[in-house]
């Protein structure tokens, strides 16, 4: 059993007005009017909740993808918490994913849908970050982790994370499927995340539906 203390009470949700303030602050931080890009590194890669004008493989330096977010709704429950992916600031790290260019005719609705999804609580901090693509460098909205938030799952080793992921399930499905879908989506764009692949192999070796 894990020595990590798992949360069992729901985290504070953001109100509609708080989400709107967050979105307005991010848009106000744009250096100049330009096409809006959003960087996806987890489930948004295969389920963005909007139809992008373009999508491209992308790479973000200085951050790593990690199962470092407690999930008590989407991929877990208060009785059996799951984990979700987050972007952790890490010197020398690199994160592959997909960057979406938003359709200028649906930008407002697309961003509102993205904020409802990603800013369910304040665990994520939307930032403008430079990502590399085949088109060159673009500045994209990226949802990084607020490490001071109680939803941040710090200190989990690979075995502990695998045990949690193997058994958890929430409103959006099994946590282990979320992991395997991430691996598959990265493979589809020709990218490899060795740590995520190793975690997936470990999870696949564990039984589903109960603690290991």
195-211 confidence digits (pLDDT tens) = 999 999 999 999 886 44
Q: Which residues of the chain have pLDDT under 70?
A: 1-3, 209-212
66-110 confidence digits (pLDDT tens) = 999 999 999 999 999 999 999 999 999 999 999 999 999 999 999
Encoded tokens for 40: 């996806």
> Model-level pTM?
0.93
Three-state secondary structure call for residue 45: helix
Instruction: Say which DSSP state 202 is in.
Output: H
Domain boundaries, the chain: 16-155
So what CATH class is 16-155? alpha beta
Give the number of other Cβ atoms within 10 Å of residue 34's Cβ: 9
Instruction: Output the 3-class SS for 50-110.
Output: CCCCEEEEEEEEEEEEEEEEEECCCCCCCCCCEEEEEEEEEEEEEEEEEEEECCCCCHHHH
Nearest CA to 134 out of 185, 96, 172, 176 is that of 96
């Amino acid at each position: 059993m894990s020595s990590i203390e798992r949360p069992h009470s729901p985290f504070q949700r953001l109100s509609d007005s708080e989400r709107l303030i967050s979105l307005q602050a991010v848009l106000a931080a744009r250096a100049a009017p330009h096409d809006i890009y959003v960087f996806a590194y987890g489930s948004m890669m295969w389920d963005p909740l909007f139809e992008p004008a373009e999508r491209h493989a992308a790479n973000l330096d200085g951050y790593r993808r990690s199962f470092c977010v407690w999930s008590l709704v989407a991929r877990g429950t208060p009785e059996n918490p799951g984990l979700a992916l987050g972007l952790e600031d890490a010197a020398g790290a690199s994160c592959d994913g997909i960057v979406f260019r938003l359709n200028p005719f649906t930008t407002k609705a697309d961003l509102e849908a993205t904020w409802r999804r990603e800013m369910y609580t304040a665990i994520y901090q939307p930032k403008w970050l430079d990502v590399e693509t085949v088109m060159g460098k673009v500045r994209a909205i990226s949802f990084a982790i607020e490490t001071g938030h109680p939803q941040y799952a710090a200190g989990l080793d690979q075995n502990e994370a695998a045990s949690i992921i193997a058994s958890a399930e929430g409103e959006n499905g099994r946590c282990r499927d979320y992991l395997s879908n991430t691996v598959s989506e990265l493979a589809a764009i020709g990218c490899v995340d060795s740590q995520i692949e190793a975690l997936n192999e470990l999870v696949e070796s564990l039984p589903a539906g109960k603690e290991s």
